[in-house]
């Protein structure tokens, strides 16, 4: 039986927030460090250790990954559709008020004085001035919700990405994730392997081997805790696709992903969000839902997005 729009939206938003909040417990750790600090596994927020990195958040609190998605959705609600300039203005306001855990790349983009007025041009200037291109993964949460909105894909996913990331790998990975989210949300099935491979072939062939690894390999193939590559957009994309194709529940994927360390909150958030669409809100572990510090905020976002989508699809 097909799940309702509400069941899928609540699954996506709460799944994303849960993955983010619990994933913070192993973010930037190696697998050996995860095993040392969590010998019985990390399964609840109260277990999260309070080291120099994790003391920036309360247990059960989400990182900027979820806050950026919230900004995207609030703009969608207030404009009854996509307004990229408004999204950019809100991103800048987030930077001015709460930039403690923004990546260096994101901080550099959002700190530019003309960003809110010309986000696409400003972002291009910043990326052109970089000595190296950091094709990082924080753009993929936006892509998932672009897929849920499902308007003019893949262009919308790529434009959301280009607000802060203009690397071809980021754009292509965003298109892939948006396609998977849209298919789960509106067709009640996974996007096919061939469809995703074709998107990668057209936009950035570098992604193809990561999609192949997700379909035919294991989570170990992504080497998620490698310190020099853990933020790669291709890894977060591949990790999420692996979870969709190989896990029978959000919880199964969650515990496995965070046990691998690396960019665990981003990886877990994206995988949990997509699995939340696939299996629905009722598939999420209730104690992880109830333990979120900002449960009321996430619920409000989910309720408003549900209402907007239901009205649009009458």
Q: Tell me the pLDDT tens digit for each residue of 13-44.
A: 999 999 999 999 999 999 999 999 999 999 99
Domain region containing 156: 5-312
pLDDT in tens, 272-304: 999 999 999 999 999 999 999 999 999 999 999
**pLDDT above 80: residue 134:** no
Distance CA 13, CA 285 (A): 14
pLDDT in tens, 217-231: 999 999 999 999 998
Contact 157, 177 (CB under 8 A): yes
**pLDDT above 90: residue 98:** no
Contact 304, 79 (CB under 8 A): no
Q: What pTM did the predictor assign?
A: 0.97
Residue 284 has φ and ψ, to the nearest 5°, of -75, 150
Helix, strand and coil percent figures for the chain, each rounded to 5: 65, 0, 30
CA dist 209 to 44, 186, 205, Å? 33, 27, 8
**pLDDT above 80: residue 199:** yes
For the segment 258-264, the average pLDDT, to the nearest whole number, is 98
Share of the chain above pLDDT 70, in %: 98
> Is residue 303 exposed (0-12), middle (13-18) or buried (19+ Cβ within 10 Å)?
middle
Contact 136, 103 (CB under 8 A): yes
pLDDT in tens, 58-78: 999 999 999 999 999 999 999
Contact 289, 14 (CB under 8 A): yes
Distance CA 112, CA 314 (A): 41
How many beta carbons lie within 10 A of that of residue 51, not counting itself? 10
**More confident: 101 or 296:** 296
pLDDT score for 105: 84
DSSP β-bridge partners for residue 136: 232
**pLDDT above 90: residue 313:** no
Contact 245, 214 (CB under 8 A): yes
101 — pLDDT class (breaks 50, 70, 90)? confident
**The domain spanning residue 97 has which CATH number?**
1.10.4080.10
Distance CA 25, CA 173 (A): 25
The pair of three-digit structure tokens given for residue 301, joined into one six-digit string: 């976002």
Query: What is the average pLDDT value for the chain, to the nearest integer?
Result: 95
Closest C-alpha to 162, from 129, 120, 133 = 120
Residue-by-residue DSSP string for 186-234: HTSSPPPHHHHHHHHHHH-GGGHHHHHHHHHS-GGGG-TT-TTTTTBHH
Helix (H, G, I), strand (E, B) or coil at 299: helix
DSSP letter at 2 equals P
Q: Into how many domains does the chain fold?
A: 1
CA dist 304 to 9, 35, 76, 80, 301, Å? 10, 40, 10, 11, 5
Distance CA 147, CA 167 (A): 20
168 — pLDDT class (breaks 50, 70, 90)? very high
Helix orientation angle between 168-186 and 140-149, rounded to the nearest 10 degrees: 40
pLDDT score for 133: 60
């Amino acid at each position: 039986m097909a799940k309702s729009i509400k069941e899928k939206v609540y699954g996506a938003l709460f799944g994303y927030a849960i993955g983010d909040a619990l994933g913070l417990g192993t973010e930037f750790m190696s697998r050996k460090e995860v095993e040392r600090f969590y010998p019985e596994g990390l399964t609840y927020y109260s277990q999260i250790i309070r080291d120099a990195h994790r003391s920036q958040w309360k247990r059960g609190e989400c990182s900027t990954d979820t806050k950026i998605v919230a900004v995207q959705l609030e703009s969608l609600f207030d404009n009854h559709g996509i307004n990229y300039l408004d999204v950019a203005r809100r991103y800048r306001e987030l930077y001015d008020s709460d930039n403690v855990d923004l990546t260096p790349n994101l901080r550099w983009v959002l700190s530019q004085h003309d960003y809110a007025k010309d986000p696409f041009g400003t972002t291009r200037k910043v990326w052109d001035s970089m000595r190296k291109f950091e094709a990082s993964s924080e753009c993929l949460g936006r892509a998932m919700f672009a897929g849920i909105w499902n308007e003019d894909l893949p262009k919308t996913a790529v434009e959301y990405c280009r607000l802060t990331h203009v690397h071809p790998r980021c754009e292509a990975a965003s298109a892939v994730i948006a396609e998977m989210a849209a298919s789960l949300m509106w067709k009640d099935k996974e996007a096919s392997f061939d469809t995703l491979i074709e998107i990668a072939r057209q936009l950035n062939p570098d992604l193809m081997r990561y999609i192949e690894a997700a379909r035919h390999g294991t989570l170990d193939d992504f080497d998620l805790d490698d310190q020099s590559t853990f933020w790669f957009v291709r890894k977060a994309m591949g990790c999420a696709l692996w979870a969709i194709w190989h896990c029978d529940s959000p919880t199964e994927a969650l515990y496995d992903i965070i046990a691998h360390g690396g960019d665990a909150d981003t990886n877990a958030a994206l995988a949990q969000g997509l699995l939340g669409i696939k299996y629905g809100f009722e598939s999420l572990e209730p104690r992880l839902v109830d333990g979120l510090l900002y449960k009321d905020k996430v619920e409000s976002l989910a309720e408003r997005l549900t209402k907007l989508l239901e009205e649009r699809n009458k």
